[in-house]
Amino acid sequence: MRFILPLGWIATILAVAPVRFDREKVLRVKPQDEKQANIIKDLAKTNQLDFWYPDATHHVAANMTIDFRVSEKESQFIQSTLDQNKMHYEILIHDLQEEIEKQFDVKEDIPGRHSYAKYNNWDKIVGWTEKMVHKHPEMVSRIKIGTTVEDNPLYVLKIGKRDERRKAIFMDCGIHAREWISPAFCQWFVYQAAKTYGKNKIMTKLLDRMNFYVLPVFNVDGYIWSWTQNRMWRKNRSKNQNSKCIGTDLNRNFNVSWNSFPNTKNPCADIYQGPEPESEKETKAVTDFIRSHLKSIKAYITFHSYSQMLLFPYGYTSKLPRNHENLAKVAKIGTDVLATRYETHYIYGPIASTIYPTSGSSLDWAYNLGIKHTFAFELRDKGKFGFLLPESLIKPTCKETFLAVKFIAKYILKHTS
């Protein structure tokens, strides 16, 4: 007897089947000259290349390291084109699906429980925020700063005593959905700050004198989607007018030099800027919160991956900020301090010249708003795993980054008014 599924069921099953990446590759190419750079740009016009580094075709230039993902179907053609043009390339990942599954390489102590050594989905993170407040009521409070397009809450955890007038640092993680190591760090930071208060001299001094506002997941809808449907998802999940393509890149949606790059205007692009500055509910919630706490916020720090960099303004211009020397000094010492733990090498500098030019970024927006110490961490690694950093590297990454953030906080406490 044949069993026929109702059409509605079939549609539901098809709708929820997660994207698979069987035998997809990640290639690394370093074009030697403009001609070779143009070959990559031409390939991107006719093939579906997912740029991992830099994040879009228009940044591709001679002598730049380019990492991109390519489907099984297109990889043969792309590799033979590179071979024909005598372009040296390296295969960083041979089978992306395999690498995605290998990411979860730490065994759970108690199945289903939140763990700092593992990647946690959104439900676990929400439960964790409640637990932190319950465990440290004098030190941690949870503030709902808004909701997402899909009506998920945006939670900021405030760490420190109740006084609103003290100096503060705002930190956010997970603005890009697929950069999972970023929210893992924000969770680690909150945990370590609260746990070491009264035990660690520096942390105790910091929390006695300043507050930290930590947004563990900025792009909640995108983060959920990267867990349930598409591990490589980057943007949020808002619908775009007159387009079937979903999502805006929240880190192109801030009101700073917003419309200055033509390639950010396509709703199907991973770096789509949105229909107008602050069009997205997530961006608006964050900007409103920061504006309303502007008197106390002395530093803004955002966490991304990957490439091991500590960046500061500007991204939209090669012009250097007024306090460039000061920012460079803090970044240099910060990267030195980070390296003391595992000798992990970071480079530092302004966004535009160190990584690539960007418009509408949270970092430049916060700086132009008047927060004169703004930094972006691009966490581990340098491309071996890319966005798929294994869980076994979460703790080392968090431990070394924690040292750098602690140094920046100490500097802010001492040197800002």
pLDDT in tens, 164-194: 779 999 999 999 999 999 999 999 999 999 9
Please compute the mean of the pLDDT values over residues 272-279 and round it to a whole number: 95
Q: Are 315 and 391 in contact (CB under 8 A)?
A: no
Mean predicted lDDT score pLDDT of the chain: 94
Q: Tokens 């961490």 identify what position?
A: 377
Sheet with 25-29, edge to edge strand ranges: 50-53, 66-70, 25-29, 89-93
pLDDT at 121 over 80: yes
The Cα–Cα gap between 119 and 66 comes to: 27
Residue 394 is encoded by which pair of tokens? 């979460």
* The residue type at 374: T
Could you tell me which residues come within 8 angstroms of residue 204 by beta carbon, excluding any fewer than 6 positions away? 196, 197, 198
Residue 35 is encoded by which pair of tokens? 């001609």
pTM above 0.75, yes or no: yes
74 catalytically annotated: no
The CATH architecture one would assign to domain 122-415 is 3-Layer(aba) Sandwich (3.40)
Q: Are 3 and 65 in contact (CB under 8 A)?
A: no
pLDDT in tens, 33-67: 999 999 999 999 999 999 999 988 988 999 999 99
SS3 131: helix
Q: Which residues pair with 343 in a beta bridge?
A: none
SS3 315: coil
CB-facing half-sphere around the CA of 53: CA atoms within 13 A: 27
Superfamily of domain 25-102: Metallocarboxypeptidase-like (3.30.70.340)
pLDDT exceeding 90 applies to what percent of the chain? 88
CB-facing half-sphere around the CA of 125: CA atoms within 13 A: 31
Please compute the mean of the pLDDT values over residues 248-277 and round it to a whole number: 89
pLDDT at 101 over 80: yes
* Domain spans in the chain, listed from the N-terminal domain onward: 25-102, 122-415
Determine which one of 179, 378, 391, 400 is catalytic: 378
Sheet with 347-350, edge to edge strand ranges: 140-147, 153-159, 210-215, 167-173, 297-305, 374-379, 309-312, 347-350
The per-residue b/e assignment along 27-55, b for 16 or more CB within 10 angstroms, e otherwise, is bbbebeeeebbebbeebbeebebbbbbbb
Residue 246 DSSP class: B
Please compute the mean of the pLDDT values over residues 336-361 and round it to a whole number: 96
pLDDT in tens, 310-346: 999 999 999 999 999 999 999 999 999 999 999 999 9
Q: Are 250 and 284 in contact (CB under 8 A)?
A: no
CB atoms within 10 A of CB 244: 8
Counting beta carbons within 10 angstroms of the beta carbon of residue 150, is it exposed (0 to 12), middle (13 to 18) or buried (19 or more)? Answer: middle
